[in-house]
Amino acid sequence: MVGLALLWGSAFLWVAIALRGLNPAQIVLVRLSLGALVLLAVLQVVGRRLPSSKRTWQHLFVAALLANVVPYLLFAIGQQSVSSGLAGSLNATTPLWAFTFGLIFRTEQRASPLRLGGLTLGFLGAVLILAPWQGAASELAGSIACLTAAASYGLSYVYMGRHLVGLDHHPLVLPTAQLIAASGLSVLVVPVAGIEPISLSPAVIAAVTILGAGGTGAAYVLNYRLITDEGPTFASTVSYLLPVVAVALGVAVLDEPVTPRLLVGTVLVLISIALVRRTKVDTTPRPARLA
């Protein structure tokens, strides 16, 4: 649990450092490729093969777009103007987006007053974190990019729940295939948005390596192990630790400021997640994503 929280929660720190030498599209390509290589190696060890169904791969490419390429790119773009702690706090709204899209597409059957109240509280917390009434336009644009990335994560849960969950595969097969699909899609993005000079330093190389091999590849293996050993309910509680890790590392490593507004907004989001999840245990396997 601690290892997974550190890997996923520190991803925003590594993105901030990687941006010193790479642009967002380049970071996405490297991290997805490294993550795919890690999972491919694990898949070879456990003796499993990638899916052979064309239709499954079609769904995997859509899932890769929603759960990997779009949010990874938007978070990296957003972090060009906002702190890693703020990005991590906005990422915490992902379960709220998943619940919202579940209601829209009717994959969520229950919308009790308690859950709807939690949803409202969560988005009030997100508005408090965003603070559109203050700050520069670039900071607001960066915050909106991060919030949109979290929404994309949430939509990916609904899509995968409808089209991929329940298929007869080893739990690591679909995430591995998804990261391969995402790597292929990110290759298409680089000629459009990634043709810029790179400036590699030991810090940049270390950051993008940890981000890809650790936060994108090894983290999913840990998540699978946690679900296997402790169950999905316990494993899902790691989402409460991610903004805490992101904010703490931003302060400790990057000397980022922490405002009362950010802290209060994050607490409201975490409380709202507890309320939204209170009446329903989510046993859906998680997409291969950051958090």
Residue 279: per-residue pLDDT: 54
Local confidence band at 11 (pLDDT 50, 70, 90 cut-offs): very high
Shortest CA distance to 221 belongs to which of 37, 55, 54, 67? 37
For residue 286, pLDDT beyond 50: no
Shortest CA distance to 52 belongs to which of 215, 168, 165? 168
**Secondary structure (H, E, C), the chain:** CHHHHHHHHCHHHHHHHHCCCCCHHHHHHHHHHHHHHHHHHHHHHHCCCCCCCHHHHHHHHHHHHHHHHHHHHHHHHHCCCCCHHHHHHHHCCHHHHHHHHHHHCCCCCCCCHHHHHHHHHHHHHHHHHHCCCCCCHHHHHHHHHHHHHHHHHHHHHHHHHHHCCCCCCCCCHHHHHHHHHHHHHHHHHHHHHCCCCCCCCHHHHHHHHHHHHHHHHHHHHHHHHHHHHHCHHHHHHHHHCHHHHHHHHHHHHHCCCCCHHHHHHHHHHHHHHHHHHCCCCCCCCCCCCCC
Mean pLDDT of 42-65: 95
Domain locations in the chain? Answer: 2-277
Q: Determine contact, residues 272/105, Cβ cutoff 8 Å.
A: no
Residue 179 φ then ψ, to 5°: -70, -35
Share of the chain above pLDDT 90, in %: 69
Taking the model in full, what pTM does it have?
A: 0.91
Local confidence band at 283 (pLDDT 50, 70, 90 cut-offs): very low
- CA distance readout (Å), 58 to 65, 154, 182: 11, 19, 12
Local confidence band at 263 (pLDDT 50, 70, 90 cut-offs): very high
Q: Which long-range contacts (CB under 8 A, 24 or more apart) does 37-45 make?
A: 37/213, 37/217, 38/212, 38/213, 38/216, 38/217, 38/218, 38/221, 39/172, 39/175, 39/176, 39/179, 39/217, 39/220, 39/221, 39/288, 40/176, 40/180, 42/172, 42/176, 42/221, 43/172, 43/173, 43/176
Which token pair is 3? 């290892």
Local confidence band at 218 (pLDDT 50, 70, 90 cut-offs): very high
